Amino acid sequence: MGRVALVTGGTRGIGAAISVALKDAGYTVAANYAGNDAAAQKFTEQTGIKTYKWSVADYEASKAGAAQVEADLGPIEVVIANAGITRDAPFHKMTPQQWQEVIDTNLTGVFNTVHPIWPGMRERKFGRVVVISSVNGQKGQFAQVNYAATKAGDLGIIKSLAQEGARFGITANAVCPGYIATEMVMAVPEKVRESIIAQIPAGRLGEPEEIARCVAFLVSDDAGFISGSTVSANGGQFVV
Ligand code: NDP
């Protein structure tokens, strides 16, 4: 059995591709999800990957979930904080609820996911943390004040964790996907999607597997000296 990897939001979209890529690379993968039992069941049937239901927005549930994964599979050595949501609205129409839901999932959710696992990584002197941020956290986005704030905040988290984890053999990095062909993006009206693609120099959406391969490299032994970095995978849409 390989190292145990936890992927939050690991049953659909980018997270599902990450779960599969890590399994193919020899990791024992636990895929977390929030509530879509049908999608999780289908994912397990297709991949054989074990799934675990809890909301990353809930600290106690995240702590109990991580403990359950460790009881079932062994110490979590790799964690991919991927779960994320959007609640888009122009700022003047954004409700406090839309703001808070996105903060709770995309920003506090990263704290809730990594914090319970961190002490074990420090003790074992090995760990890999990857957060899935977004191009929109790097550049901002109309109608995404909440989302962009969380994704920019996620970059602050990994830069700080990189400094705290370094002498314990723990790396922390972020991947900032551009627009990727998942349900989240395919749900927008076709006209809007066409205008999005027009802004991408590569002339296409990214594939979830292209993000998964970045993650697989960042958690590998070969990437042991890479920490605090941001990998932009956006088809040239935004150059930092
Ligand atoms: P999807 O909507 O396709 O999948 C989201 C996954 O996250 C699902 O497994 C879902 O579980 C899970 N999830 C949502 N909320 C929670 C929660 N509170 N607790 C636990 N799991 C949760 O998303 P994508 O694959 O498109 O996005 C994945 C990540 O990549 C997100 O962080 C997103 O912000 C980021 N990203 C996506 C881009 C894109 O173009 N798609 C671009 C840039 C960044 P369930 O199935 O139960 O709902």
Note the pLDDT tens digit of each residue in 105-157: 999 999 999 999 999 999 999 999 999 999 999 999 999 999 999 999 999 99
Ligand 1 pocket member 87 (CB < 6 A)? no
CATH of the domain at 207: 3.40.50.720
Would you place residue 183 in the very low, low, confident or very high pLDDT band (cuts 50, 70, 90)? confident
Higher pLDDT, 186 or 122: 122
* Structural domain of 111: 4-228
Give the side-chain half-sphere CA count within 13 A for 129.
34
Does 147 participate in catalysis according to the annotation? yes
In this model, does residue 187 exceed pLDDT 90?
Answer: no
State which amino acid sits at residue 206.
G
Rounded distance from Cα 70 to ligand 1 centre (Å): 23
- Predicted TM-score (pTM) above 0.90: yes
Residue 236 placed within a domain? no
Give the pLDDT confidence score for residue 186 in this predicted structure: 86
| Separation of alpha carbons 16 and 81, rounded Å | 12
Residue 237 placed within a domain? no
Would you place residue 44 in the very low, low, confident or very high pLDDT band (cuts 50, 70, 90)? very high
Ligand 1 pocket member 113 (CB < 6 A)? no
Residue 209 placed within a domain? yes
Structure tokens at 73: 């599979």
Would you place residue 184 in the very low, low, confident or very high pLDDT band (cuts 50, 70, 90)? confident
Q: State percent of the chain over pLDDT 70.
A: 100
Residue 240 placed within a domain? no
Residue 239 placed within a domain? no
Rounded distance from Cα 34 to ligand 1 centre (Å): 10
Per-residue pLDDT, averaged over 190-202, amounts to: 94
Residue 54 placed within a domain? yes
Number of domains in the chain: 1
Annotated catalytic residue within 27, 33, 52, 147? 147
Residue 233 placed within a domain? no
Residue 235 placed within a domain? no
Rounded distance from Cα 84 to ligand 1 centre (Å): 4
| Residue pair 162/169 in contact by the 8 Å Cβ criterion | no
Give the pLDDT confidence score for residue 15 in this predicted structure: 98
The dihedral through the CA atoms of 173, 178, 182, 183 has a sign that is: positive
- For residue 37, the ligand 1 atom closest to its alpha carbon is 47
